[in-house]
Structure 1
Amino acid sequence: MLQTRVIPVLLVHDKGLYKTTKFKKPKYVGDPINAIKIFNEKEVDELILLDIDASKKSREPDYKMIEKVASECFMPLCYGGGINNLAQIRRIFSLGVEKVSLNYIALSRNSLIEEAAATFGSQSIVGSVNIKKNLFGKYKLYDHVSKKTLDKPIIKYLRELVDKGVGEIFINDVDNDGMMEGFNVELIKEVTAGLPVPTICCGGAGTLKHCHDVITHTNVSAVSAGSMFVFHGKHRAVLITYPERNELDLLFKGLK
């Protein structure tokens, strides 16, 4: 396994694989299973699968889709989307998924994190947060279902998630989603400083240098990306790929 994880994030929408820009304008980029087969061949260490419809439509996770993905996936898989209770988490784990990401439900009922961590272990529970600038240019937590920023302080909320028992935190920068212009290093540095659990940042990766920069200058233990692995060239042609392992080993040699 790589010393520093570089994790592909797959977004499922209308049963297909899509990529968004700033959480808007979903663009179809292929079939999730085909992407997973490519990532298997590239020996990717970990994969994150997010159903971006489930919570918005108030529906349960698509268990058939999850089972199909998990059966094809040779690497540890984290799933998020539509999770509301322990029974759903138990069923998802029974399908071969190693971690669940809790985002929307945690904003209103973070007691589920405590229950899930006590039942399944903290290592399998990821606390996911979206961060976005409000109209006044201040960074706030963002609820992707209501499409509104929230007044709850970001750092305080992240620490609440840790106190409730998450074993990992996933931070998504909405304003940088799909932009491929680099991570907001200062923002990530500020919100992850001192967190006692591993953190993953997402939003802005366009090159491996972007990944190197955020790992070098912040407290994150892993980087994740979507567009970087599916779009290529100035016309953003779709070509799903992943860097060679020796390239990543060389890039992160000596870090963390």
Structure 2
Amino acid sequence: MSNLRIIPRLDIKGKNLIKGVQLEGLRVMGDPNDFALRYYEAGADELVFMDIVASLYGRNNLSDIISRAADQVFIPITVGGGIRSTDDARHILRSGADKVAINTAAVSRPELITEIAHHFGSQAMVLSIEAKLVAPGRWEVFTDNGRERTGLDVLEWAVKGVTLGAGEILLTSVDREGTRKGFDVDLVRKVSDAVTVPVIASGGMGTLDHFVDAAAKGRADAVSMAHVLHYKTLTLGDIRARALAEGLGVRQI
């Protein structure tokens, strides 16, 4: 069994790292590369960079930030936001990313998942799913930072995405994102049980207990967090130590 991965998430607007609540109400945190380097040196297993205004520009604008990060950070980097074609994916991968995360474009043209997996390998094709609870035990896929409804059922879409070639799922609970109230463990567990590829739980971490819940109860293969790290509420060392104490299979450093 592979290690449970600890993945800081960096949401980017323009040249700045920002943080919001439920993907809105954004605050500027600083230079994303400073944070990326700090998290790398503190033992992050991977990093996720999201261009959260890419839909406004029609393309991902992180190539400069990613190429700078790739020069000093030697762990896998996933980049998402505004990637709409294999050419867009190629551009980001050539900038230094290891994987691309796709949400809106995959919803509008699901065959893009297959095309990217075919060109760059399934391991480079991450299906990003923004989920909102719409009825007890039922979640709908949203796009554009949780603003646009799609009518798609999250579990059905996750299964279809993997069938089409996605090698990993980045699962963000829009309801929980930035709230520090904990992950939507029920959502994480149901998606993890439904697919055969790794699932990254994202959205809601506020305490070490939340991390443990996402991994142990949600059966996530990786856990992503932003607020607790950006505001220094917790450190990556705190998270790793607690995971080891709970017997969760994280990398020892």
Distance in 1, matches of 2:116 and 2:33, equals 28
Q: Report which stretch shifted further, 88-97 or 13-22.
A: 88-97
Seen in structure 2, the aligned counterparts of structure 1 residues 108 and 176 have a Cα distance that, compared at 3 Å, is same
Aligned position for 1:98: 98
Distance in 1, matches of 2:210 and 2:221, equals 14
Seen in structure 2, the aligned counterparts of structure 1 residues 248 and 186 have a Cα distance that, compared at 3 Å, is same
Aligned position for 1:253: 247
Aligned position for 2:222: 222
Gaps of 5+ in 1: 234-239
Letter in 2 for 1:224: S
- The secondary structure found in structure 1 opposite 2:123 is helix
Question: Offset of 1:166 from its aligned partner?
Answer: 0.7
TM-score by structure 2 length? 0.90
Distance in 1, matches of 2:239 and 2:62, equals 32
Equivalences for 1:4-153 in 2 at 5 Å?
4-134=4-134, 139-144=139-144, 147-153=147-153
Distance in 2, matches of 1:132 and 1:105, equals 18
For residues 138-170 of structure 1, what are the alpha-carbon distances to aligned partners after superposition, in whole Å with 9 as ceiling and x for unaligned?
631112268222212211111110011011001
Distance in 2, matches of 1:209 and 1:34, equals 27
Seen in structure 2, the aligned counterparts of structure 1 residues 251 and 183 have a Cα distance that, compared at 3 Å, is farther
Distance in 2, matches of 1:20 and 1:10, equals 11
Gaps of 5+ in 2: none
* Residues matched between the structures, number: 249
Question: Offset of 1:230 from its aligned partner?
Answer: 1.4
TM-score by structure 1 length? 0.89
Distance in 2, matches of 1:80 and 1:6, equals 18
Distance in 2, matches of 1:63 and 1:151, equals 32
Equivalences for 1:140-219 in 2 at 5 Å?
140-144=140-144, 147-219=147-219
Seen in structure 2, the aligned counterparts of structure 1 residues 251 and 182 have a Cα distance that, compared at 3 Å, is farther
Seen in structure 2, the aligned counterparts of structure 1 residues 90 and 253 have a Cα distance that, compared at 3 Å, is same
State whether residues 79 and 101 of structure 1, in contact with CA within 8 Å, keep that contact through their aligned partners in structure 2.
yes
Q: Report which stretch shifted further, 18-27 or 136-145.
A: 136-145
- The secondary structure found in structure 2 opposite 1:12 is strand
